[in-house]
C-alpha cells in the first residue's frame, strides 16, 4: 500500500514472487550490491534482511529498503522490496507477505523442465490478487537463468500470460500495461536486466499512484510518463 507522509516521503512495496529456486533472493542480493557499488536512481538504506534455511532457500522472506536518489526537491521515495519463500509448503506465508504489495516482479525459472511449476506459481499469485494484476498492481516478468541451456523464451511465456488472461490486445485500454518480459540472469557476475526490470516495476508502480489513483492510468494525459 503506497503511503504518503506529511514530510514528503513515499513508501512503495515491491514484491518478488515465483517458484522455489527461481532466483528471487539472488536478484535482490544483486540489486543491493549493484546499487550500492554503482550510482543508480536508487540506493540501499541499511542491510538486506534474509531469513533463510541452511540450504539458502528462503524460510520466511527477504527484505531490502531502497531510497530514490532523484526527486530531491519533491521528497524521497522509499521502496520496500520483499521476496516470498517459493517452496510449496509456504503458501499461507506468501499470502501474508503479499499484503500491501504495490508492484510485483514475477521471477520465472526459465529451465524448460520447470515450465509447469512456474505456471502453478503464477496461478497462486492470481488467486491471491483476485483480478487486480495489471489493473491495480503492475506486474513485470523476469525470465531468469537465461545463462543456462534448455530455457524457455519470451514467446513461450507470453503464451502463458495469454492463457492466464494477463495479456491485453492492442485495442484494449490496458494494452500499454502488458507485463514486460525481461530475459535475465540474476547472478552478480553475469547479471543481466536485474536493475532494468526492477526500475520498470518501480516506475509503473509510481505511475499507477500518480496518474491512476491506484489503478492503471488510462488515456492520453500521461505524456511525460517516462519521467517518473
Ligand atoms: N545459473 C543461474 N543460477 C541462478 C540464477 N539466479 C539464481 N540462481 C541460482 O539458483 C539457486 C536458487 O536461487 P535463490 O535466489 O535462492 O532462489 P529463490 O527464488 O530465492 O528460492 P526460494 O527462496 O526457495 O523461493 C541458487 O543456487 C542461485 O545461485 C541465474 O540467473 N542463473
Ligand atoms: Mg529466496
Render pLDDT for 26-66 as a digit per residue (tens, 0 to 9): 999 999 999 999 999 999 998 899 999 999 999 989 999 99
Query: Average pLDDT for residues 176-202, to the nearest whole number?
Result: 98
Grade residue 222 by pLDDT with cuts at 50, 70 and 90: low
May I ask the CATH class of domain 3-210? Answer: alpha beta
CA angle 12, 15, 21 (to 5 degrees): 160
Nearest atom, ligand 1, residue 29 CA = 15
pLDDT at 225 over 80: no
Q: Domain residue spans in the chain? A: 3-210
Please tell me the residue having the least CA distance from ligand 1 atom 6.
Answer: 23
Alpha-carbon distance of 165 to 161, in angstroms, equals 6
Alpha-carbon distance of 183 to 187, in angstroms, equals 13
Question: Of all residues in the chain, what percent carry a pLDDT higher than 70?
Answer: 94
Higher pLDDT, 195 or 220: 195
Render pLDDT for 149-175 as a digit per residue (tens, 0 to 9): 999 999 999 999 999 999 999 999 999
Residue of 15, 16, 19, 21 best suited for mutating to test ligand 1, as the one with most atoms within 8 Å of CB: 21
Render pLDDT for 62-90 as a digit per residue (tens, 0 to 9): 999 999 987 665 678 999 999 999 999 99
Q: Pick from 107, 73, 61, 75: which is nearest to 11 by CA?
A: 75
Amino acid at each position: 500500500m503506497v503511503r504518503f507522509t506529511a514530510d514528503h516521503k513515499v513508501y512503495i512495496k515491491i514484491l518478488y514472487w515465483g517458484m522455489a529456486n527461481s532466483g528471487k533472493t539472488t536478484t535482490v542480493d544483486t540489486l543491493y550490491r549493484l546499487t550500492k557499488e554503482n550510482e543508480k536512481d536508487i540506493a540501499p538504506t541499511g542491510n538486506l534482511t534474509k531469513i533463510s534455511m541452511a540450504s539458502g532457500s528462503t524460510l520466511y522472506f527477504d527484505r531490502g529498503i531502497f531510497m530514490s536518489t532523484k526527486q530531491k526537491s519533491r521528497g524521497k521515495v522509499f521502496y520496500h522490496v520483499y521476496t516470498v519463500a517459493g517452496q510449496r509448503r509456504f503458501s499461507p506465508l506468501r499470502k501474508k507477505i503479499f499484503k500491501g504489495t504495490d508492484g510485483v516482479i514475477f521471477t520465472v525459472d526459465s529451465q524448460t523442465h520447470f515450465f509447469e511449476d512456474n505456471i502453478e506459481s503464477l496461478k497462486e499469485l492470481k488467486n491471491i490478487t483476485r483480478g487486480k494484476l495489471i489493473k491495480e498492481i503492475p506486474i513485470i516478468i523476469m525470465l531468469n537463468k537465461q545463462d543456462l541451456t534448455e530455457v524457455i523464451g519470451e514467446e513461450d511465456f507470453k503464451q502463458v500470460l495469454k492463457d492466464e488472461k494477463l495479456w491485453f490486445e492492442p485495442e484494449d485500454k490496458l494494452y500499454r500495461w502488458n507485463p514486460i518480459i525481461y530475459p535475465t540472469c540474476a547472478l552478480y557476475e553475469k547479471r543481466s536486466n536485474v536493475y532494468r526490470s526492477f526500475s520498470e516495476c518501480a516506475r509503473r508502480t509510481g505511475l499507477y499512484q500518480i496518474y491512476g489513483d491506484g489503478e492503471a492510468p488510462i488515456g492520453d494525459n500521461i505524456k511525460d510518463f517516462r519521467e517518473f
